[in-house]
Structure 1
Amino acid sequence: MTQQPLPAPAVQYGTAQYGTTRQPSDYKSTQAKAKRGVAFQGNIGSFSHRAAQHFAEQMFGESETTLVACRSFDEVFETIHTSKDFYGAIPLENTSMGSIDANYDLLWSREAVITAEVFVPVQHNLISIPNAVLEDIREVYSHPAALDQCRKLFQKYPQMRPVPHWDTSASAGLVKDRQDPKIAAIASGKACEANGLSVILPNIEDYAHNATRFGLITQAEYAAKHVPTPYKVSVALALPNEPGSLAAVLTNFARCGVNLTTCKSRPIPELPWHYRFFVDIEVANEEQHKLIYAYRKEFQYDVRLLGLYPVGKLL
């Protein structure tokens, strides 16, 4: 069975087993029939699609799972609120670029939680139609994040102009449709194969071991209440704008012996020059579990739990 690429800007619905895609008009019947759904931003063959496939296979077994292709992260968050059976796969951070700030803001504003994570290797390729020649390529289309992860390509070949597009895999589809040997895309090998294109240059990412951390999100009311150790906790903290407030939090985490894996700040638009901190910590054993929960009861600041989930692995 084959699954057709998603034409921009439409949203279609398919299955984790590459079943026939469904048009948006079929959404209600799809929602009623599917046991689970995983939404992702992008097209078939994108790295988000790979993460969604993994979550569908690992979290929900072999049963039919609808994969929901979305044009934006906002659409992913909107989809998970349509049903308790719909989840979302969103990128949270990349080893080359750092955090995807928009998704942290959406986690807070849309009151979503993380229920699982996975680390997806990101290997970019310069791809075009089979008769394209490297020296003739003038425009390179891809998602802005992918273009940013391949800056050295444009330094080495200054005749190439980076052109932002809404998705890596959709960029491959654009190159296929235009059949112009002077344009190329930056996308995955899967996207190249799906569109009948050729790899002009493989592995063009600036840094080896490039990877993106994806989270599986759902509505806050369906968050896990307990996960066996080792596990990860994600929280959002709104701290007072006073000396030592962040240091006090970090000191208490250190006293619990937990590993702090992420700590980033985002502005609170309603309160100029005040910041919300997003923190991830790894809890390795039951002793740390007891300490961190005892400390949480004493915490006086505004805190929201954003997820309790097993520590993810690299695919």
Structure 2
Amino acid sequence: MNEKIAIQGIKGSFHHQVAMEYYSEVEAVEECLSFEEVVSSLMTNKASQAVMALENSIAGSIIPNYALIDKNNLQIIGEHYLDIHQNLMALHGQQLEDIQEIHSHPMALLQCMEFLKKHPHIKLVEDQDTAETARRIHKNQIRGIAAIASKVASKMYDLTILAPEIQTINNNMTRFVILTKLASDVSERKINKASLKFELNHKRGSLAAVLNVMSDCRLNLTKIQSLPIIETPWKYSFFVDVTFDQYEDFKKAKSVISIMAEQFKILGEYESKFNRLTVESFNR
């Protein structure tokens, strides 16, 4: 991949790891310390594609990212699931009892809460990125502060792992999506997943009717997320992921749903390689 890929975080972050695994080769990455900056990199053509975390098997959906994708009319062209391993790291020569503060991304702190509860004397500080925290500790030679990040980050920024694998649940997966400004040109024969967004009238059975159409068309609903429409109290947008064996089934479903729903939008049609074998590999 010769074009620049935007990632949330810096080299050594989980987003960087996804970029390296998803693409056969990555010439350059655009490091962004917020998801808004990731989107801006795409919109201003600093990057041609972007990696964005969308949901975690422990902490759930990263709801603001759904809104970012929708608001900026971005297209999902792929996805990648990463098994998340969190590690506590600090400068060489320190022990766990030397640590007064732990800095990391809020999601990383949440994923390690059971471990952190065992050390109530240590102050928890939310930071922008796991790897950036590790890099800052190394660069400024900060003692008494530890980071929670990946093993890749510990090696890249020469930190000692004080406690490995501190995530509360071992089977801790995050789903990342690959974003562009334009829809994918992948063959319909390969497309087996789609991400949709729609709004419905606030009346009894409207959502059930749409879900029945999906079922009748042999679509498998893998995700449904609602977001309130700020301008209209008690009305919601629905973000839905569906998988299917035949593209014609999906084509039939979207033609019907586009009539039933308001503000119907295709956020992406793409090939998903996530399946039962992938789940088993994460569980090993």
**TM-score with structure 1 setting the length:** 0.82
Find 2:144's aligned residue among 172, 177, 182. 182
1:152 is aligned to 114
Q: Which amino acid in the other structure matches residue 77 of structure 2?
A: T
Whole-Å separation in 1 of the counterparts to 2:129 and 2:36: 14
1:206 is aligned to 168
Q: Which amino acid in the other structure matches residue 178 of structure 2?
A: L
The answer to whether the 8 Å contact 1:234/1:306 transfers is: yes
Q: Which amino acid in the other structure matches residue 90 of structure 1?
A: M
The answer to whether the 8 Å contact 2:91/2:143 transfers is: yes
**Aligned residues: CA RMSD:** 2.0
The answer to whether the 8 Å contact 2:191/2:270 transfers is: no
1:247 is aligned to 208
Whole-Å separation in 2 of the counterparts to 1:312 and 1:84: 28
2:266 is aligned to 305
Residue 231 of structure 2 aligns to a residue whose secondary structure is coil
Please state if 1:73 is matched with 2:4. Answer: no
The answer to whether the 8 Å contact 1:131/1:181 transfers is: no
1:52 is aligned to 19
The within-5 A match list for 1:11-26 is none
Please state if 1:270 is matched with 2:237. Answer: no
Displacement of 1:179 = 2.8
2:158 is aligned to 196
CA deviation string 1:266-298 (max 9, x = no partner): 111121221100000001235634542453464
Displacement of 1:127 = 0.4
Please state if 1:127 is matched with 2:89. Answer: yes
Change (3 A) 1:275 1:224: farther
Residue 243 of structure 1 aligns to a residue whose secondary structure is coil
Change (3 A) 1:288 1:278: same
**TM-score with structure 2 setting the length:** 0.90
Residue 222 of structure 1 aligns to a residue whose secondary structure is coil
Change (3 A) 1:85 1:155: closer
Q: Which amino acid in the other structure matches residue 170 of structure 1?
A: E
2:55 is aligned to 93
Displacement of 1:208 = 1.0
The answer to whether the 8 Å contact 2:5/2:29 transfers is: yes
Query: Which stretches in structure 1 are left out of the alignment for 5+ residues?
Result: 1-15, 17-34
Please state if 1:112 is matched with 2:79. Answer: no
Change (3 A) 1:49 1:304: same
Change (3 A) 1:274 1:108: same
The answer to whether the 8 Å contact 2:192/2:247 transfers is: no
Q: Which amino acid in the other structure matches residue 244 of structure 1?
A: G
The answer to whether the 8 Å contact 2:188/2:247 transfers is: no
Q: Which amino acid in the other structure matches residue 306 of structure 1?
A: L
Change (3 A) 1:134 1:300: closer
Displacement of 1:145 = 0.8
Change (3 A) 1:84 1:137: closer
CA deviation string 1:232-251 (max 9, x = no partner): 11000111111111111111
Please state if 1:217 is matched with 2:179. Answer: yes
Which stretch of the first structure deviates more once superposed, 178-187 or 147-156?
Answer: 178-187
Q: Percent identity?
A: 34
Which stretch of the first structure deviates more once superposed, 156-165 or 175-184?
Answer: 175-184
Whole-Å separation in 2 of the counterparts to 1:56 and 1:244: 43
Whole-Å separation in 2 of the counterparts to 1:256 and 1:122: 35
The answer to whether the 8 Å contact 1:40/1:68 transfers is: yes
Find 2:246's aligned residue among 285, 293, 300. 285
